[in-house]
Amino acid sequence: MNGNRVKSFIWLILVVFVFLLPAITRQDEYILHVGIIIAFNVALATSLWLLCSMGFVSFAHAGFMGIGAYTSALLFLRLGWSFWATMWIGAATAGIIACVVGIPLMRTKAVYFFMASWALGEVIKMMFALKYFRWFTGGWDGLFDILPPKLSILGLYIDFSSRVAYYYLAVVFAMAIVFIIYRLNRSRIGTILWSIHEAEILAEHVGIHLLRYKVLTFAVACFFAGLVGALYAHYHTFIYPRTFDIWVSEFSLVHVIVGGLSTVAGPVAGATLFTILDELLRPLGFYRVIFFGIILILTVLFLPGGLESIPGRIRSLVRRFLK
């Protein structure tokens, strides 16, 4: 009971800090930029973690993020639709495609799923680059001028091309995604997903329709990835196929593993720390990936539960010390 209250308190402080960050930093453009990237990475890693909780490691996640981004960007650029509609259509497109592709894909297991999802991610990326559709999707050159949205409600006019406004937009969506996935994980649905992770055959024999849950979970995770993609596209205003390279899925997976798999705090902590580290190591250029590799290996060897297991480890150390 007490532990739960402490946890809620920590989350509350975190949320307040995130909301006050623009004021604390006097609207420092660079820090807010990093904040926005953290929000994207946290949302992406958390949606990937939802799949991990069912025992699936997907490398197609960046691809589905791309589907959301491209759908939203194309509707905005070619048809002139409002971002507030296109972002949802983008996310829904990612979810629906995941649902259809998931029916064969989610029948595979373990390392076969791993390879199949990898291939799927690459195929999606190549689809964006197709020469035949270059007039439409921009080929390898990508899409430009995907402008941030504007909003006027209740006499209030917000232009999201301002850094602060977009920061709040990204942060609110990231928090909503984390909250939804947290609630799902704590509910009966979460129990079912973890039971599939633990012992698929037993789950099936107490009446859990494996394929239905696997496909729906994949669709939900990819819906959120698509949502992040749409937010990403309208922030950077430029996307091209490499934006959704397999690297993005891999980094997201590293965030989840280093953060820890057992609760939603894992991907949140992992994505936050890694994004900050990535920024600090930026002068090293592409060599910083080496550090990520080293940290990943060290985590797996010495901190198997990830960052989220640290408080528990400290607690048991203290208890042993007091004895």
Partner 1 sequence: MPLLEIRNVSKYFGGLEAVGNVDFDVDQGEIKGLIGPNGAGKTTLFNVISGVYHPTSGRVVFKGKDIAHLKPHAIAKMGLVRTFQATTLFNSFSVLKNVLAGYHLHSKVNFWGALFNTPATVKRERDIEKKAMEILEFMGLSKYKDELALNLPHGYQRALGISIALAAEPELLMLDEPVTGMNPEETMEMMGVINKIRDRAITVLLIEHDMRVVMDLCERITVLNFGKKLAEGPPEKIRKNKDVIEAYLGSE
For binding to partner 1 (CB under 8 A), which residues are involved?
180, 183-184, 187-189, 191-192, 194-195, 198-199, 201-210
DSSP state of 286: G
Minimum CB separation of residue 198 from partner 1 in Å reads 4
Minimum CB separation of residue 100 from partner 1 in Å reads 20
Which of 195, 159, 226 shows the shortest CA–CA distance to 53? 195
Nearer to partner 1, 183 or 315 (CB): 183
Tokens of 95: 């979810």
Minimum CB separation of residue 177 from partner 1 in Å reads 12
Other beta carbons less than 10 A from residue 151's beta carbon: 14
- What sign has the CA pseudo-torsion 296, 302, 304, 308? negative
Minimum CB separation of residue 196 from partner 1 in Å reads 10
Minimum CB separation of residue 202 from partner 1 in Å reads 5
Minimum CB separation of residue 50 from partner 1 in Å reads 13
3 state SS of 56: coil
Q: Show the DSSP H helices in 80-187 as ranges.
A: 83-105, 110-129, 134-137, 163-186
Nearer to partner 1, 158 or 210 (CB): 210
DSSP state of 147: P
Nearer to partner 1, 71 or 217 (CB): 217
Nearer to partner 1, 1 or 206 (CB): 206
Minimum CB separation of residue 310 from partner 1 in Å reads 19
CA distances from 256 to 105, 272, 285, 305 (A): 22, 11, 23, 11
Nearer to partner 1, 123 or 202 (CB): 202
Minimum CB separation of residue 83 from partner 1 in Å reads 25
Nearer to partner 1, 28 or 204 (CB): 204
Minimum CB separation of residue 46 from partner 1 in Å reads 15
Nearer to partner 1, 34 or 189 (CB): 189
d(CA 155, CA 73): 27
Contact 142, 238 (CB under 8 A): yes
Contact 193, 54 (CB under 8 A): yes
Q: Show the DSSP H helices in the chain as ranges.
A: 2-24, 29-52, 61-79, 83-105, 110-129, 134-137, 163-186, 188-198, 200-205, 210-236, 246-259, 265-280, 288-302, 310-322
Which of left, alpha, beta for 145 (phi over 0: left; psi -120 to 50: alpha)? left
Nearer to partner 1, 131 or 205 (CB): 205
Strands 150-153 and 156-159: antiparallel
Kindly report the length of the chain: 323
Nearer to partner 1, 202 or 290 (CB): 202
